[in-house]
Amino acid sequence: MSTPDLPLSGVRVVEMTHMVMGPTCGMILAQLGAEVIKVEPPAGDKTRSLGGMGTAFFPLFNRGKKSVVLDFTKPEDRETMHRLLDSADVFLENFRDGQLEKQGLGAGELRRRHPHLIVAGHKGFLSGPYEHRPALDEVVQMMSGLAAMTGTSAKPQRVGSSANDIMGGMFGVIAILAALYQKRGGGGGADIRIGLFENCLFLVAQHMVEYEMTGNKPRSMPEREHAWPIYDIFETAGGERIFIGVVTEGHWQSFCKQFGLKEFSEDPSLRTTTDRILARARIIPRVAEVIKGWDAKELSATLDKLNICFSPINRPEDLFDDPHVLRPGGLVNNVNADGEAFRVPALPVEWNGASIGEGLKVPVLGADTEAVRAELEGQKLSATGKTAVRLA
């Protein structure tokens, strides 16, 4: 059930999605208070059984939802789906164009039977020459130039998470919230299409516009020209690594004073940031020499006091020991479909000072089928006044 004090309480979302992009959209809507009913085939969402890097896909992106099993080879289950959509505000799907038509859920049929419905289709591409193509996060990273910017010109590299899928789901949420707002003002339903490729274009727009404005081809992140005199990873006395970013005039002066770099702070040839960037070849080796003499913990505390940007070089597993991640509300406790508890970062917002997402459960396959069928049957009785006929 939706939580009464959350903003989307009372909104019903019917979701037919799989993998990451569409489920992310439903998961965020659920955490904001919507009732999200995930419709699965009899065998269940295929991501339920993924292993390896896909182990977290189903539990992570399907928390807080209900699970209803419908078999669309049965006409009665197709009709149940339409009755469910009659009761819904939003329908989420991420199938290739044409697939839902085969199940009686094509765009035309949905608009005819459910004119009130907000339909959000999460696709590989928006309308155009590529709209028929399937897409994956890695595919659009290669196509958009993100992989070239993340790796090197010789070795493109995808980013280390399903960043586009997740962000695509977020854009789905943004569009749905806009449609709900419009509907509240007297508007009807809406047809929304979210493109994975176009999402990635949005991410690389800063590099596209740089080229548009300057004519200079942007260099990849490992090969780029630095915009700051110190913006690098250094090794400490114990062999631990730390990133340090000295990005303002005040930072530069504080850094040089604290770490005994008088030869830089008093050098007239290093008066401006541009001067220092051009002198990185002599600045960085000297800074590395100094940092090598510091203990990582003491160095972090010192940089923190100076208000200079820094970070240890963490791995995902390290974050379960990070004091900020472990603050109250930083991690929330959820329960997998098998009853096992797991911790996950809270939604990255605070609502009236509180974190969102505590206590969410991953649905057991079909756990809510009978309850939803009974509700729809009750609605049918109320509308017709006839005796109930149990749905198969």
In DSSP terms, which residues pair with 37 in a beta bridge?
14, 66
Cα torsion 218, 222, 228, 230 to 10°: value is -170
Q: For residue 387, what pLDDT band results from cuts at 50, 70 and 90?
A: very low
Query: 148 near 220, Cβ under 8 Å?
Result: yes
- pLDDT at position 301: 97
State which amino acid sits at residue 231.
Answer: Y
Contacts of 306 (CB under 8 A, 6+ apart): 251, 254, 255, 258
Domains of the chain: 12-205+328-384 (3.40.50.10540), 226-315 (3.30.1540.10)
pLDDT at residue 383 in the model: 65
Cα Dmax for the chain = 92
Q: How far apart are CA 322 and CA 151, in angstroms?
A: 28
pLDDT of residue 304: 96
Q: Are 36 and 15 in contact (CB under 8 A)?
A: yes
Look at residue 385 and tell me whether its pLDDT is greater than 80.
no
Give the per-residue pLDDT at 381: 63
pLDDT at 187 (0 to 100) = 80
Q: Computed over its alpha carbons, how large is the radius of gyration of the chain?
A: 26
**pLDDT range class, residue 104, cuts 50, 70, 90:** confident
Produce one character per residue of 247-262: b if its CB has 16 or more CB atoms within 10 Å, e if not.
eeeebbebbbeebebe
**Terminal C-alpha separation, the chain:** 25
pLDDT of residue 378: 83
Token pair 């240890």: residue? 312
**pLDDT at residue 388 greater than cutoff 80:** no
What is the crossing angle of helices 75-86 and 369-384, to 10°? 70
pLDDT of residue 131: 93
pLDDT at 46 over 70: yes
Q: How many helices (H) and strands (E) does the chain have?
A: 14, 13
- The reported pLDDT for the residue numbered 223 is 78
Contact 339, 43 (CB under 8 A): no
- Would you tell me how many other CB atoms lie within 10 Å of the CB of residue 263? 11
Tell me which amino acid residue 331 is. L
Q: Is the pLDDT of residue 391 over 90?
A: no
Return the pLDDT at 224: 74
Strands 35-40 and 190-195: unpaired
Neighbours of 304 (CB within 10 A): 10
| pLDDT tens for each residue of 215-227 | 999 888 887 777 7
Q: How many residues does the chain have?
A: 392
Q: In this model, does residue 4 exceed pLDDT 80?
A: no
Top pLDDT among 1 and 362 is at 362
For residue 98, name the pLDDT band (cuts at 50, 70, 90). confident
**Contact partners, residue 147, CB within 8 Å, separation at least 6:** 138, 141, 156, 157, 158
Query: pLDDT tens digits, residue range 6-17?
Result: 999 999 999 999
pLDDT tens figures, 203-213: 999 999 999 99
The closest of 32, 36, 28, 170 to 90, measured between CA atoms, is: 36
As a whole number of angstroms, the distance between CA 388 and CA 284 comes to 78
Q: How many Å apart are CA 71 and CA 68, to the nearest integer?
A: 10
Stretch among 103-112, 184-193, 217-226, 252-261 having the lowest mean pLDDT: 217-226
DSSP-derived letter for residue 361 is B
Average pLDDT, the chain: 92
The pLDDT score that the predictor gives to residue 389 is 37
Pairing of strands 241-246, 66-69: unpaired
Percent of the chain with pLDDT over 70: 96
